[in-house]
Amino acid sequence: MRKNDGLAERFEAHRDHLLRVAYRMLGSLGEAEDAVQEAWLRLSRVDADGVENLGGWLRTVVSRVCLDMLRSRRARPEEPVGQQVPDLVGDADNGGDPEREALLADSVGRALLVVLDTLVPAERVAFVLHDMFAVPFDQIAPIVGRSSVTTKKLASRARHRVRGGSAIPTAELARRRHVVDAFLAASRGGDLDAILAVLVPDVVRRADPAALPPGAATEVRGARAVAEGIAVFGRRARFAETALVNGTVGVVVAPRGRLLLALGVTVEGDRIAGYDVIADPARLRRLDIAILGD
C-alpha cells in the first residue's frame, strides 16, 4: 500500500502538466481528464521504478492516448456547428466544471482552440508538443509514428495554419484590432455610450437567422439601433476573441473553444462601419480563421 501511495504522489506531481498537454490536444476538459486518468491506469500496471524519466514517460502516454482520441473523433460524423445559437448562449458552459474549463480556454486562447480543431490529429499533436511545450522532434516522432523530418513538417504545416496570413500591412491590422478590441470590451460591459463611440452613425449589422431570436431582423441600420441590439450579442461577448477571419480582423465566439459564430468586421478609421454575424454551419466551415499575433 505504501508503494502505491508513493506512486500516486509521484503521479499527482505531474497531473497539472499532463492536463494542460491533454487539453491543448483535445480542447475538452472532460476528455483531457479521461486521457490523464488513462495514463494513471497504465502507470499502475508497469514497474514505475524502471521508468527513468517519469514526467516524459507520462507525457508520451498521454500524447498517444490523445492521438487515438483525436483519430476516433475524426472518424465519427462531424459535430454540427453554429446550431441553436440563442439556446447555447446562456448555457454554453454547462456540464463538468464550467469555471475551470473557461479558465483553461482563456489560458490557451479561444481562437487558437478553434484553429487547432481544423488540424489533422498528427499535426495537432506535433504542434502542441513542440510549439507549446518545447518537446524535441525526435521525441515526438515515435508518438505520431513518423520520422523526425516528417514530424517537423507536420508541425510546420500546423504552424502555418495557426498563424494564417493577411495581405493587410501589420500596422493596419494592429489599428483594426484596437478598434475591434474596444468594441468587444464595450459589449462585455454593456456600456451603450462606449459601444456608440466605436460605431459610425450609419453602421450596418447583418446576421444569419441562426444567430438571432425567432422573428428578429437580419439587418439593422444606424448606430443607436445596432448598439441597443448588441445587448443580445453582449451575453456572448465573454466567449469572444479577436482573430483573423478571412485575412482581416474579426471575432470568433467559441464557448469551450467550440466555434459558435464569427463576426466579419468592416473598420473605417477608428470606428466600425459594419459587421456580419455568421452562424450558418456551411458559412462557418468555409471561413479561414487564424490567430492574431501580439
Express each pLDDT in 151-186 by its tens digit: 999 999 999 999 998 889 999 999 999 999 999 999
Hunting for cell 459589449 — which residue is that? Answer: 187
- Count H helices and E strands in the chain, helices first: 14, 7
- What's at 180, amino acid-wise? V
Question: What are 120-135's pLDDT values in tens digits?
Answer: 999 999 999 999 999 9
In contact, 275 and 264? CB cutoff 8 Å? yes
pLDDT-wise least confident of 26-40, 181-195, 275-289: 181-195
pLDDT at 282: 94
- As given in the structure block, the three cell numbers for residue 57 are 514517460
User: What are 4-14's pLDDT values in tens digits?
Assistant: 668 889 999 99
Over residues 172-224, the pLDDT tens digits come to 999 999 999 999 999 988 888 999 999 999 999 999 999 888 888 999 999 99
In the chain the first and final C-alpha atoms are separated, in Å, by 50
Is the confidence at residue 94, as pLDDT, over 60?
no
Contact 126, 151 (CB under 8 A): yes
Q: What residues pair up with 277 in beta bridges, in sequence order?
A: 207, 263
Q: Give the pLDDT band of residue 294 (cuts 50, 70, 90).
A: low
pLDDT given for residue 149 in this prediction: 97
Taking the C-alpha atoms of residue 146 and residue 160, their distance in angstroms, rounded to an integer, is 20
Mean pLDDT over the full length of the chain:
88
Mean pLDDT throughout 48-63? 91
Does residue 29 surpass a pLDDT of 50?
yes
Give CA–CA dist 238/97, Å, rounded.
Answer: 17
Domains along the chain? 1-77 (1.10.1740.10), 112-163 (1.10.10), 170-290 (3.10.450.50)
CB 278 within 8 A of CB 264: yes
Helix (H, G, I), strand (E, B) or coil at 179: helix
CB 16 within 8 A of CB 59: no
Strands 199-207 and 219-221: antiparallel
Beta pairing class for 271-278 and 199-207: parallel
CB 4 within 8 A of CB 41: no
**Residues pairing with 274 in the sheet:** 204, 266
User: Does the pLDDT value for residue 293 go beyond 80?
Assistant: no
| Whether 191 contacts 260, CB under 8 Å | no
Place 235 in a pLDDT band, splitting at 50, 70 and 90: low
Instruction: State yes or no: pLDDT of 91 exceeds 50.
Output: no
